Chains A and B, each alone.
Chain A
Amino acid sequence: MDYALRDFLMFTPEVYLRLFMRLNEAFWPWQLLFPFALLALAGLLSLPQGRARRLALSVLGVGWILTALLFLQRYYEPIHWGMAYAVWAFLAEAILLAVLAWRVTPARVPLGIGLIGSAMVMALSMAGAVSAGTVEAMGWPGLTPDATALLTVLALLTVPWKPRCVLLVVPVLWLLFSGLTQWALELRATLVPPAVGLGVALWGLWPGTRKRPRPKR
């Protein structure tokens, strides 16, 4: 009679996937702007001007704020009391990204690599749609937590190791929590974004990656 992971689940898979569907329904059609925002991020990170690349970090911060206030607070918190704390963690991450954008200039990323990263995030954002069997359950980056955390983990690879480690704390904790949730819900497709995000984060935290040359401001 020991506890199993699924004994700690507070809701059913249907209720969880419906969160995404309700958000998409309420937010329509503004979410269609988000793929363009992703392309813009890739573009900004590819520009030679440091100010443009720092702006990319600020744009990411806006995504964390939107995710906290729209998805977590409005939809997730009513079914999970723990989300009250997650909202604050997401807002803290937004502030950290703003501070980072002020203090650090991300490394320049070739446009092709940026576009590949954006395409990967968009593809993985479809995981909810695969699990629910409808595109209405898609989890947009900048609006829902897993895709936002995954995008942030990728973007943080462009900043020096020390601030990267600090900024990765919230995304990694979220991806870990979310991965365990998907596992317990037995939603295999939605398990992929947290798993990929955690893999990339682990690689980014590896001390061997700290020797990346610090870009000049």
Chain B
Amino acid sequence: MTIPFSRRRFLGGLTALAMLSHAPLLAAQSAPIRRPIPSTGERLPAIGMGTWRTFNVGSDPGLLDQRADVLERFFREGGTLVDSSPMYGSAEAVMGRLLERLQREGTVFAATKIWTSDEGATRGEAAHSRELWGIDQFDLLQVHNLLGLDGHLPTLRAMKAEGQVRYLGVTTSHGRRHGDLEQLMKREPLDFVQLTYNVLDREAEARLLPLAQDKGIAVIVNRPFQGGRLFDRFASRPLPDWAGEAGVTNWAEYFLKFIISHPAVTCAIPATTRVDHMQENMGALYGALPDPALRRRMIDELG
């Protein structure tokens, strides 16, 4: 048997060889960016998903279908951490329905919050949230905005010791109570803190993020788009010429890659109601990240 040889086959073979030689690079580029949780070393995808406003759709069948598509895209693109709270209306119940529908209970890194001033209600609220989510165990329980902290934190610690939750943490937003958070981070053994940090709101850079690195605390970043205001202000502008150097192809990636390129940040949690926006957000989970010089440039560009 003779193998027909042609110029096309020869060039095709060369191309295949060239692709094989670059295989590790391609694989590296297609792997999601993951960050270790310092207390265990478990690696989390650096882009998660928030549910404030976006997943509070009640029992509306049409909107549930839309959100199912958004959530499925999130998981397909490599996301795992979903963050919610009892404060977010029906968001927890919606998440439970959709996880069951998509059969993603085993994929999700489930994070919610304890949001009650009744410091004796920690276990009861966690159990109620667990029922709404339809899961056996939360990966992360956080004290919402430090509310009822003195009562909730010892209980969460006991629940962690009993194996009822894997990680514990506290949250703040809008830059509030950073002083209290700093004291808490110095004093308490926390797995996670959640705070607001984005290309315009960088107060956390001064003390909280270095402290988190120093103490080995994972950092979840909320309001990465300033609740959408960053798009309102900047999305009509063209991306700067050097954006490609920072691994950025759209404004969502610009804002998110700025955040997750900080070495103290574990995960950013943008929220969206749209599949195309989810696709853009998850683009930040792949490819190059800006180095410190490019991060400075990213700030200056919007300054």
Contact status B273-A12, CB under 8 Å: yes
Residues of B within 8 A of A15 (CB): 56-58, 60, 63
Rounded to whole angstroms, the CA-CA distance of A14 and B87 in the bound complex is 20
Q: Using A12-B273, A18-B62 as known contacts, say yes or no to A1 and B201 having CB atoms under 8 A apart.
A: yes
Residues of B within 8 A of A18 (CB): 57, 60, 62-63
Contact status A10-B227, CB under 8 Å: no
Which B233-271 residues have a C-beta within 8 angstroms of A? none
Task: Across the interface, name the chain B residue whose C-beta is closest to A3.
Answer: B174
Which A67-117 residues have a C-beta within 8 angstroms of B? 75, 78-81
Output the least CB separation between A125 and chain B (Å).
Answer: 22
Q: Using A1-B196, A3-B174, A81-B89 as known contacts, say yes or no to A22 and B60 having CB atoms under 8 A apart.
A: yes
Interface residues in A, total, Cβ within 8 A: 20
Contact status A80-B89, CB under 8 Å: yes
Residues of B within 8 A of A19 (CB): 58
Residues of A within 8 A of B174 (CB): 1-3, 7
> 1/0 per residue B171-191: CB within 8 Å of A?
000110000000000000000
Answer whether residue B231 sits at the interface, using C-beta atoms and an 8 A cutoff: no
Answer whether residue A6 sits at the interface, using C-beta atoms and an 8 A cutoff: yes
Residues of B within 8 A of A22 (CB): 60
Q: How would you classify the secondary structure of chain B's contact residues: helix, strand, loop or mixed?
A: loop
Interface residues in B, total, Cβ within 8 A: 22
Residues of A within 8 A of B201 (CB): 1
Output the least CB separation between A11 and chain B (Å).
Answer: 5
Answer whether residue B54 sits at the interface, using C-beta atoms and an 8 A cutoff: yes
Which A1-51 residues have a C-beta within 8 angstroms of B? 1-4, 6-7, 9-12, 14-15, 18-19, 22
Contact status B63-A14, CB under 8 Å: yes
Output the least CB separation between A184 and chain B (Å).
Answer: 11
Output the least CB separation between B259 and chain A (Å).
Answer: 15
Q: Using A1-B196, A80-B89 as known contacts, say yes or no to A12 and B54 having CB atoms under 8 A apart.
A: yes
Output the least CB separation between B120 and chain A (Å).
Answer: 20
Output the least CB separation between A208 and chain B (Å).
Answer: 43
Q: Which 6 A-B pairs have the closest CB atoms?
A: A1-B175, A78-B58, A79-B89, A79-B58, A78-B90, A1-B201
Binding site for B on A (CB under 8 A): 1-4, 6-7, 9-12, 14-15, 18-19, 22, 75, 78-81
Offer 28 A-B interface pairs, CB within 8 angstroms, sorted by A: A1-B174, A1-B175, A1-B201, A1-B203, A2-B174, A3-B174, A6-B227, A9-B53, A10-B53, A10-B88, A10-B89, A11-B53, A11-B57, A11-B89, A12-B273, A15-B58, A15-B60, A15-B63, A18-B62, A18-B63, A78-B58, A78-B90, A78-B93, A79-B57, A79-B58, A80-B89, A81-B87, A81-B89
